[in-house]
Amino acid sequence: MPSESPRKTFLVALGVCLVCSVLVSTAVVGLRQRQQANRELDKLKNILLAADLYTEDAAVRQTFDAKIHPALVDLSEGQILPETPADKRLDPINFDIKVIARDPKLSRIIPPTDNLAGIGRRPDYMVIYQVMENEQVVRLILPVYGKGLWSTMYGFIALKNDIQTVTGFIFYEHGETPGLGGEIDNPRWRAKWIGKRAFDESGELKIEVVKGTVDPASSQAQYQVDGLSGATLTTRGVDNLVQFWLGENGYGPFLQNLRAKEVAHE
């Protein structure tokens, strides 16, 4: 058989492919646990960023455990569940929004007229994160998500314990266009949310992302955030997901119950 026969070339190529496949498969399996741990750590880091508790020299998990208390909320009832359901997927530590939203037993179809965020199904439960100081809740970190131009955007919005003031907003997963819609990652744009009022004194949802820049002289400026230049559809997606999740089909009942408790304690 000639040394350069097609058969020999094929066998060598096949052997190389098999070896590479084994090496790649071994690497994937071997690194899976580490990748999962890194994803979990990144999630905790973004929660701390939303809560303004993250510093470069701080240990992420230790800070999270010391300052953050996760809680499972029944969105329809607007109440924190006193005990975690038997389904392990609803454990606040293991909770995965994507898994829950796909399960018909743990989520519901959103009518088209209410589907502002474009997500199709809404989980019946969501894990929220309470920032604790001296055994008191000082901030709430609320997971939010919805459709942008190219992707589903996942993030956290933080509210002060007055249930009105935004103290942070961050996206931790998206596929928007770098330099345009991808500017939702820009710290300068994220900073524009801090101090804005999500609700007025009566509890009406008022916050919005406007096209262009906010007029500081406007009476509505305290409720408005600058849009992203050149990214109209991403801007609209961010506004829509905020409207949905802070509204009656999202965390609205839960936030209303918190306000009622605050009034009762005054």
**Structure token digits, residue 45:** 């880091």
Half-sphere exposure (CA, 13 Å, Cβ side) for 15?
6
Flag the least confident range among 16-25, 205-214, 257-266. 16-25
To 5 degrees, how large is the angle CA 190–CA 192–CA 197?
A: 115
For the segment 138-164, the average pLDDT, to the nearest whole number, is 96
Query: Which tens digits make up the pLDDT trace of 29-45?
Result: 555 556 667 777 888 89
Tell me which of 117 and 52 has the higher pLDDT.
Answer: 117
| Mean of the per-residue pLDDT values of the chain | 89
14 — alpha (psi -120 to 50), left (phi > 0) or beta? alpha
pLDDT above 90 for 144: yes
Could you tell me which residue, 81 or 93, shows the higher pLDDT? 81
pLDDT at 1 over 50: no
pLDDT of residue 40: 79
> Which residue did the predictor score with more confidence, 23 or 86?
86
d(CA 84, CA 88): 8
Q: In Å, how far from its chain's centre is CA 110?
A: 19
Cβ atoms within 10 Å of 180's Cβ, excluding its own: 17
The Cα–Cα gap between 105 and 65 comes to: 30
Matching residue, tokens 């942008």:
148
Instruction: Determine the pLDDT at residue 115.
Output: 96
| Domain boundaries defined on the chain | 68-265
